[in-house]
């Protein structure tokens, strides 16, 4: 039992360090870099991306309706949305495409899963924002933030688990690695640009922004660990079944 707890604690600590980030795109890129690559069919990858983006869209919408501030990346998106009169989802897509263009200029072109990730996330943010309502009670607004962190973390973990894409930040980080710059350093620079840019442009900053930045790392580490444990358990069950059949 003690050995099991130690192994879990060691794996959790490793995941936590690997997924340390402050924005949702940075967290996805970090989680992807720490995730063991898996060979899945295109259909399964697509389904997992759609599930993940649905959860992310729900989570971002919960922050929007909580009216206590947005996650760091969405602080910038909200500023762009205000300046351009776009919906939050469409502004998020526009910002994401901007980072894709940067990656392409540096020699890293996106695959179809990156484009699906950005389009589906933007569509889900707008869909959930229309479906949900602003709660009047502060306690419910706080719960919206808590569940928002959980939903975004779960969505990011599912997408990283699919081995399909790490989002636009991953592409820029890979381009940086091509030029002998550490991918983690590149992600940190991108996150700093996003955070400073969002604040400078007057985005929706609040206490929930800080809550997200503090807890997204541990939350995505926990979600990733749960998915890994489920996968390992399934593999053990299949191995035992095969062994029984051979016997």
Cα separation, 36 vs 39, whole angstroms: 10
Torsion, Cα of 210, 212, 213, 219 (10° steps) = 140
> What pLDDT digit, counting tens, does each position of 210-244 carry?
999 999 989 998 898 888 876 655 554 444 555 55
Lowest mean pLDDT among 25-39, 54-68, 77-91, 153-167: 25-39
pTM: 0.85
Angle at 230 between CA 227 and CA 234, to 5 degrees: 140
pLDDT band at 108 (very low <50, low <70, confident <90, very high): very high
- From the number of C-beta atoms within 10 Å of its C-beta (0-12, 13-18, 19+), residue 233 rates as exposed
CA 164 to the chain's CA centroid: 13
Q: What is the pLDDT of residues 112-137, one digit of tens each?
A: 999 999 999 999 999 999 999 999 99
pLDDT band at 246 (very low <50, low <70, confident <90, very high): low
pLDDT band at 12 (very low <50, low <70, confident <90, very high): very low
Q: How far is CA 12 from the centre of its chain?
A: 18
Residues in the chain: 247
State mean pLDDT over 142-150. Answer: 98
Q: What is the mean pLDDT of residues 3-23?
A: 54
**Is 190's pLDDT higher than 70?**
yes
What is the percentage of the chain residues whose pLDDT exceeds 90?
72
**Residue pointed to by tokens 């200029």:** 105
The share of the chain scoring above pLDDT 70, in percent, equals 84
What is the average pLDDT value for the chain, to the nearest integer? 87
CA atoms of 17 and 75, how far apart (whole Å): 24
Contacts of 122 (CB under 8 A, 6+ apart): 89, 90, 92, 93, 96
**d(C-alpha 115, C-alpha 164), whole Å:** 11
pLDDT(37) > 80: no
Alpha-carbon distance of 212 to 208, in angstroms, equals 6
Looking at residue 180, what is its pLDDT?
92
Angle at 102 between CA 56 and CA 97, to 5 degrees: 40
Helix (H) or strand (E) holding 46: helix 42-66
């Amino acid at each position: 039992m003690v050995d099991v707890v130690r192994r879990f604690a060691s794996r959790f600590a490793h995941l936590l360090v690997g997924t340390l980030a402050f924005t949702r795109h940075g967290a996805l890129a970090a989680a992807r870099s720490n995730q063991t690559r898996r060979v899945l069919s295109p259909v399964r990858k697509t389904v997992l991306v759609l599930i993940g983006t649905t959860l992310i869209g729900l989570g971002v919408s919960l922050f929007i309706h909580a009216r206590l501030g947005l996650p760091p990346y969405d602080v910038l998106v909200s500023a762009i949305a205000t300046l351009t009169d776009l919906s939050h989802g469409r502004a998020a897509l526009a910002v994401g495409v901007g980072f894709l263009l940067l990656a392409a200029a540096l020699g890293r072109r996106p695959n179809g899963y990156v484009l699906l990730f950005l389009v589906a996330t933007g569509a889900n943010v707008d869909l959930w924002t229309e479906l949900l309502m602003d709660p009047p009670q502060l306690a419910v607004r706080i719960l919206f933030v808590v569940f928002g962190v959980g939903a975004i973390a779960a969505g990011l973990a599912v997408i990283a688990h699919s081995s399909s894409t790490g989002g636009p930040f991953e592409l820029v980080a890979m381009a940086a690695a091509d030029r002998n710059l550490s991918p983690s350093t590149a992600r940190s620079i991108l996150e700093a640009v996003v955070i400073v840019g969002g604040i400078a442009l007057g985005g929706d900053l609040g206490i929930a922004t800080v809550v997200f930045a503090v807890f997204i790392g541990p939350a995505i580490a926990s979600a990733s660990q749960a998915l890994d444990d489920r996968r390992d358990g399934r593999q053990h069950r299949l191995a035992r079944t095969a062994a029984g059949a051979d016997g």
